[in-house]
Amino acid sequence: MENKTRRNGRHNAIDILGCRFGNLHVVEKTKLRKHRQVVWECLCDCGNITQVISSCLRKGKSTSCGCRMSFKTPHIERFLSNFSKEGDGCWEWKGSRGKNKYGVLSLDGTQVYAHRFSYEHFKEPIPDGMYICHTCDNRCCVNPEHLWAGTPQDNISDCLSKCRNSTVLNKEDVLKIRDMHETKGLSLRKLAGLFNAGTSTIHRVVNRKSWKHI
């Protein structure tokens, strides 16, 4: 169906409600403004909801929620410059992060998760409805070798398994973990196995994001 944009409201803004731009179908006009432009809520063909500004839609810069990522050279260069390779094998994301602590990358006005970008760039397209999970249990990691595609149920099962098998650490454990990491160079994964804890838990301990008082 041909898009029929309309001019409406204050400042003669273009109304694109109901229009389609690539894989995106505009479903709602939000109250948000970015760069003095209206932010529209869009439903992607993959089922995800994303928010995009008017110009990115009308100029064809945003045509999906990121599920069909564009691997332009500037995007790849930005991705490669925003992580550091750690001793435990993780590629630690240094760029922006969302409220859920996952790294995010902006692709022509649309934000996508950095680990999903990594998976699609280095491995293969992500099937519709699939999650990208971490074997290292580190949300900030974008190493494709630490990523695997799973169903929503796979993701839940993986989370429950890690939580169920984790041990609550005490002060003595924390001091030992930091010492073994700093002086003996033990990896986060090795320490997680020794202390029966998740890799993300060990990561927070050695980086003093938890147990800050000791």
55, amino acid identity: S
Q: What is the pLDDT of residue 136?
A: 83
The pTM for the full model equals: 0.49
Q: What is the pLDDT of residue 118?
A: 92
Helices 171-183 and 199-206 pack at an angle, to 10 degrees, of 80
pLDDT tens, residue order, the chain (214 aa): 345 445 554 444 688 999 988 878 899 999 988 888 899 999 887 777 888 888 888 888 777 776 665 556 678 888 999 999 987 788 999 999 887 788 998 877 778 899 999 998 888 878 777 889 888 878 889 999 999 988 888 877 777 666 544 557 888 888 989 888 888 888 888 888 788 877 778 888 888 878 887 8
Domain spans of the chain, in order of start: 6-58, 73-164, 171-206
Query: Hey, which CATH number is domain 73-164, 3.10.129.10, 3.30.450.20, 3.40.50.2300, 3.90.75.20?
Result: 3.90.75.20
Please tell me the distance from the alpha carbon of residue 159 to that of residue 137, in angstroms, as a whole number.
Answer: 9
Q: What is the pLDDT of residue 2?
A: 42
Please tell me the distance from the alpha carbon of residue 81 to that of residue 108, in angstroms, as a whole number.
Answer: 17
Q: Residue 103, Cβ neighbours under 10 Å: how many?
A: 26
